């Protein structure tokens, strides 16, 4: 008897002399091929779904923010969320306005209803495959097999054949993430099939090379998504791109109690105020809890929430109105807040690719609509928002934290970070490789406990060019102590995409100006952790030994009309010293939005003549008065090609 292997060998041409043999498949790539064959699912479909869930990463067997495990994001909420605290965004005054501080509010009780099927797909995968739940959570090959079984079951439930043609699997893919509305299911499937058409390659978090070969021209049968039991989400009132699933779930603008109201302010932006920032948050709560919170009149409100499992977006506040989310009233009045289902510190709570992609589409759309620059001084993390006053610095939030992949996010937005000059340009853009940059953090699950070692977007900053030197000090966070390696301690941390002026170089180390001091980070030429660049910087005017920095850009006293209390300058506890340079992110004239009553007729926008520059001062941005500084090109004696100094607002 001739074996099948012999027949295939006889019919296959021998490799040409000198030809490079094909690279062997990684164990994970082989697992996808095996599972696809066993369950009669096109390998491209299986790879595409997995990429949109996890980018093929295993995450050391730790769960995502929506209780998903492994490359296929099989969900097991009972295991993943057991004992996980649901905190919400309540540790600071989110309004950030001394004129009307908010009181603390409690979190709603966790929901007690049965878990929805979308959060228990691992149980179904275990029944279909006969594999133990622990294997499906912890072994990548088993996890892939479970995902293939679920896709095959979805295809059968649609009455569709287990076809080798990927275009016949649109309905099954749409069902995979468990969305209960047509628009979200279709948006998920559209992303998967866009991936299949374009192809993808990357090395996973455990070092395995993976590839999804491109299938250009593939046109799936999108009519399969319209099945009984699914409804369309209500998009009325939303301000979202058509390429995402978006629903209007409004936050209440309601008066309650003794002349209190919440949970946002009505405005007419950008007509009465410009929108200059988009602030990226994580919810520190599950999707369901977050939606309960934003609908409490006595809580706070943000503009959008993005769901982890499938990238569904809920809009709660119209973009023309002002949300209470950033903890700094000036930034609130000038920003849009986007929350992402997730947790900063609990181990394993990683973000899905579906969430990253939906959020990136939303941010790109909003930035274009409101003319917001796509850079890290305008697309801020909550952890980059400054305290409005010295008293508020220590209480500012630290999300989305060092595990949010800013480089990947900006690549999806369409504004990847890159070098803009050689090493003499005078600036650097922080850009470590996320997967291999793995600084040790503490305080994730327990105070002082070591966090799981995983990729990070942040670099640690030292007082000298050596890793055993003390960390640079943040006197606002630690007036009488030292900076720590805590996951919530931003005092000595430079974030991917942030730009700083170079203060010096020594061997494999680069120094930047940071919080009024030199801060060193490792930046070897053979494996750089930053791109070189050029741009515009500020420095104190000649004759000034130091100048104040501010957490807000409020008008001069003469600008306030009668009846509106003058807001004090309130400099932060830091000082910007003579000879130091900081990157200019933009300019603005002093502005204050006074809203202390429910009656919008009493709301006032105060505009001044005082000009401020926004600068990258530390991990957080800050503001300096134009009258205190000189603006100059970062490259001494040479104006950056093709640019001009930043103009006034």
Following DSSP, what letter does each residue of 267-299 receive, concatenated?
--TTTSS---EEEEEE-SB-HHHHHHHHT-TTS
Residues 63 and 73: their CA atoms lie apart, in Å, by: 8
To 5 degrees, how large is the angle CA 402–CA 403–CA 409?
105
What would the pLDDT profile of 144-171 be if each residue is shown by its tens digit? Answer: 999 999 999 999 999 999 999 999 999 9
**Fold category of 233-402 in CATH:** Lysozyme-like (3.40.80)
Share of the chain above pLDDT 70, in %: 89
| Residue 643 in this model has a pLDDT that exceeds 60 | no
Domain 24-76+120-218 belongs to what topology? Lysozyme (1.10.530)
pLDDT reading at 593 higher than 50: yes
Least confident range of 232-241, 244-253, 375-384, 466-475: 232-241
Return the pLDDT at 108.
Answer: 53
- Whether residue 96 is predicted with pLDDT greater than 90 in this model: the reply is no
Of the candidates 453, 486, 215, 419, which has an alpha carbon nearest to the alpha carbon of residue 348?
453
Residue 88 has pLDDT above 50, yes or no: no
Task: Report residue 15's pLDDT band, with 50, 70 and 90 as the boundaries.
Answer: very low
* Contact (Cβ atoms closer than 8 angstroms) between residue 491 and residue 472: yes
| DSSP string across 90-123 | -SS-SS--TTSPPPP-PPPPPP-SPPPGGG-HHH
Domains of the chain by residue range: 24-76+120-218, 233-402, 424-534, 538-633
CA 460 – CA 485 distance, rounded (Å) = 9
Token pair of 18 as six digits: 């000198």
Rounded to whole angstroms, the Cα distance separating 274 from 268 reads 10
Q: 11 pLDDT exceeds 50? A: no
Q: What per-residue confidence (pLDDT) applies to 112?
A: 53
Indicate whether 300 pLDDT > 80: yes
> ω into residue 491 within 30 of 0, thus cis?
no
pTM reported for the whole predicted model: 0.92
Mean pLDDT on 277-291: 92
Copy the structure tokens of residue 362.
């939303």
């Amino acid at each position: 008897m001739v074996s099948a292997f012999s027949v295939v060998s006889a019919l296959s041409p021998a490799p040409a002399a000198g030809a490079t043999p094909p690279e062997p498949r990684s164990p994970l790539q082989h697992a996808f091929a095996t599972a696809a064959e066993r369950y009669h699912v096109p390998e491209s479909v299986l790879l595409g779904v997995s990429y949109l869930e996890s980018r093929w990463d295993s995450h050391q067997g730790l769960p995502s923010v929506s209780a998903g495990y492994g490359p296929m994001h099989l969900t097991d909420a009972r295991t993943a969320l057991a004992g996980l605290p649901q905190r919400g965004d309540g540790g600071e005054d989110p309004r950030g306005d001394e004129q009307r501080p908010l009181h603390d509010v409690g979190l709603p009780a966790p929901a007690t209803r049965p878990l929805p099927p979308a959060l228990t797909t691992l149980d179904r995968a275990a029944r279909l495959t006969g594999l133990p739940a622990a294997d499906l959570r912890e072994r990548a090959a088993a996890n892939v097999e479970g995902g293939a079984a679920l896709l095959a079951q979805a295809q059968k439930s649609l009455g569709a054949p287990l076809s080798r043609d990927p275009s016949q699997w649109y309905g099954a893919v749409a069902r995979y993430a468990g969305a209960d509305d047509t628009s979200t299911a279709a948006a998920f499937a559209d992303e998967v099939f866009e991936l299949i058409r374009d192809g993808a390659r990357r090395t996973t978090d455990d070092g395995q090379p993976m590839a999804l070969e491109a299938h250009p021209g593939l046109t799936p049968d999108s009519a399969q998504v319209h099945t009984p039991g699914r409804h369309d989400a209500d998009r009325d009132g939303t301000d979202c791109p058509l390429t995402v699933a978006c629903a209007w779930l409004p936050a209440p603008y309601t008066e309650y109690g003794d002349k209190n109201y919440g949970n946002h302010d009505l405005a007419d932006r950008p007509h009465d105020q410009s929108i200059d920032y988009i602030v990226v948050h994580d919810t520190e709560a599950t999707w369901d809890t977050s939606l309960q919170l934003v609908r409490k009149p006595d809580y706070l409100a943000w503009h959008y929430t993005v769901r982890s499992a499938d990238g569904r977006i809920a809009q709660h506040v119209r973009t023309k109105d002002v949300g209470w989310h950033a903890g700094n009233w000036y930034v609130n009045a000038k920003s849009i807040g986007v929350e992402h289902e997730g947790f900063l510190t609990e181990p394993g709570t990683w973000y899905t690719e579906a969430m990253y992609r939906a959020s990136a589409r939303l941010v790109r759309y909003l930035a274009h609509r409101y003319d917001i620059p796509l850079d890290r001084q305008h697309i801020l993390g909550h952890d980059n928002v400054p305290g409005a006053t010295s008293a508020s610095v220590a209480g500012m939030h630290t999300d989305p934290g060092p595990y949010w992949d800013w480089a990947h996010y900006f690549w999806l937005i369409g504004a990847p970070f890159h070098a803009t000059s050689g090493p003499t340009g005078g600036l650097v853009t922080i850009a470590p490789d996320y997967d291999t940059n793995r600084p040790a953090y503490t305080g994730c699950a327990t105070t002082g406990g070591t966090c799981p070692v995983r990729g990070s977007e942040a670099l640690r900053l030292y007082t000298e060019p050596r890793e055993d030197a003390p960390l640079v000090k943040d006197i606002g966070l630690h007036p009488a102590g030292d900076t720590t390696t805590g996951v919530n301690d931003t005092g000595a941390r430079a974030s991917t995409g942030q730009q700083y002026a170079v203060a010096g170089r020594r061997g494999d180390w680069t120094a930047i100006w940071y919080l009024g001091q030199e801060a060193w980070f490792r930046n070897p030429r053979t494996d750089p952790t930053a791109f070189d660049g050029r741009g515009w910087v500020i420095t104190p005017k000649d004759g000034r030994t130091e100048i104040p920095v501010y957490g807000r850009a409020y008008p001069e006293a003469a600008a306030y009309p009668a009846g509106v209390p003058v807001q004090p300058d309130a400099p932060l506890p830091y000082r910007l010293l003579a000879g130091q340079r900081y990157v200019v992110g933009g300019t603005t004239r002093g502005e204050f939005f006074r809203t202390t009553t429910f009656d919008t007729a009493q709301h006032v926008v105060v505009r001044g003549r005082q000009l401020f520059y926004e600068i990258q001062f530390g991990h957080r941005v800050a503001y300096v008065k134009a009258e205190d500084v000189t603006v100059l090109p970062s490259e001494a004696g040479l104006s950056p090609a093709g640019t001009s100094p930043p103009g006034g607002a």
